[in-house]
Structure 1
Amino acid sequence: MTEAVAMKEIKVAILGASGYTGAELVRLLALHPALKITAMTGDRKAGQPMATVFPHLAGLELPDLVAIDQVDFKAVDAVFCCLPHGTTQEVIAALPQHVKIVDLSADFRLFDVDTYAQWYGHEHRAPALQEQAVYGLTEIARNQVAKARLVANPGCYPTSVQLPLVPLLEQGLILAEDIIIDAKSGVSGAGRSAKEANLFTEVAEGIHAYGVASHRHAPEIEQGLSQAANSPVVVSFTPHLMPMSRGMQSTIYVKTTGANTAASLRAALAARFKAEPFVRVLPEGAVPATRHVRGSNFCLIGLFDDRIKGRVIITSVIDNLVKGASGQALQNMNLMFGLPETLGLEQQPMFP
């Protein structure tokens, strides 16, 4: 299969390649047998080689970074859009119709344009295109992703939360009410832009909550869970910044229905994800850790009975830059071109 795939070269542009998710895409695509990077943008770094911006990528045959208006989009087959939120809608709307797109920003994740305006502070600039966008939580929407031209890549927190919760809500094993999510992320989740709050001295040797009761991933999480439950779901969601480069853990507290326990929920998730290459439900007593997924596209899920009867604690870990961003984006792009979705993503986690 690999030899056949390698014969068909798919030309790819990465918009916003000078950020962390762009760099992670370059790393993953370096050994991909079909996708070839032919254009990369980074407006503030335009004219520079990628090896100057990210020395760990030196030695790869890569085009220099350019401004977006210098890219000949007629000559590319696919685009990974890694631009900041609020900047992608008009860019994507202007792309030629033959180009397939995975957008890693939040600009097409929310189905309702009014909800988008409420949470992001400005009107949606491509409402007609929003209607065409597929929300690309791969394991949940694989068939829709495969047929899509535009995929909205999920956020990192929503990925870690929805993967365990969506199947449980669909099967009615947990209540759609009183879901509490305590989530923690590495600093790379805040992007590469210079921000005082992300300086080493501001982050090291401590943790802190942010976006309390107001984080923009809340409506994205609730959108997916409401679809799964077929009724409105509102969650308590609090993210925290951890003094580490990458990694994400969501600890989720749920109420079960009937006589369900951690064991029955574990069995249901294990059956649901049995054939999935990147989601692993751990055995009883096993506790997932972010260091177990570092650098990989895996999501590990553990379940535990709470001391409070009728409650189960779910822990879900991902690498926020891979399964939470660039890895899932590549997984989706593979599907969009009819390729095995594991291509470029076979690497095992890095440890220690």
Structure 2
Amino acid sequence: MKTSDLTTPALIADSKILETNIATMASKRPGRELRPHVKAFKSTAMAKKLVDAGHETFCCATIRELEGMVKAGFGSDLLLANETLDAKRIGELLVEGNCRITVAVDSLETIDAAVFAGVKEVLIDVNVGLQRCGCSPDEAGFLSEKAKASGLKVRGVMGYEGHLMHDPNVRRRTEKTQESMELLILAHEAVGGDVISGGGTGTWECNQAVTELQAGSYVLMDGDYSKLDLPFKEGLLLLTTVISTSKSGYAVLDGGLKALSVDSGNPKLLGEGEVIFCSDEHTTITNGSWTVGQRVGLRPSHIDPTIAKHEFIYLVEEIEESLDAELLETLKIDLRGW
């Protein structure tokens, strides 16, 4: 079966790039020094490839991801790097499954929810500048003591410098990351524990403060991350078909907002022309020589929400310009939802 046999829109990925990206990260962040973030690819089949590369701990953003990873046998050390007030399902996993789950907390309310659900271990989530979740650094010690008094084991701290991930200025990104991590280290001194968790694909090299890096997008990359000075290559493509050229100078593809995310910008066209705009089920591009029925590839600008829109990723040995490659493997995207 070839990519030309697929119904479009469909996600295809270059297996050589995938393998190289995984190996590159593993060479610098081996084993437990990397806690791959499942939210990027939402697939236990992809997680298996990371296990094969030597990684045994994983980071999740949703309880659905936790459930799927435990069911697949990858629950030896999972972190829910997100706050939740409805932790009942986590407690059920801990009772039913042979797993270890740590939950991020940043308030008395999230601590109480963890205790009520039967969670045993937590990380204190610290705001290091993103202005999303996380307590202030000077509150971390207080919350840690409250958690311990409630019977929880506090493994350490986490803090995500997401506001710095896509800064194109290497020097500024490095300096600002160090400043953010100083806040996390300060919090860790008050909290204790052996875990300092954080970072991501954009700060994979300059963040030397964490004991474990939370990166996921690096496996297949996207248009936004590819603007940076990273050694990882883009390996994901949305395969589409030209369905109309009725308006002179334009071509319309059969994949749009329901097949890819544009929160980080329009996708990049593989080949001649440029993307004009995306609508629900269509993408309009400038037409040089595109013809109805021709296959066209689009590089997503943001991998995580794009993958979450699909059921499968089709692996090929190499994405060729002809877009007519043999299919090697189908990865089920089985961790979608909440």
What TM-score results when the alignment is normalised by the length of structure 1? 0.33
Between 1 and 2, higher relative CO (CA 8 Å, sep ≥ 6) is seen in 2
Larger Rg: 2
What TM-score results when the alignment is normalised by the length of structure 2? 0.34
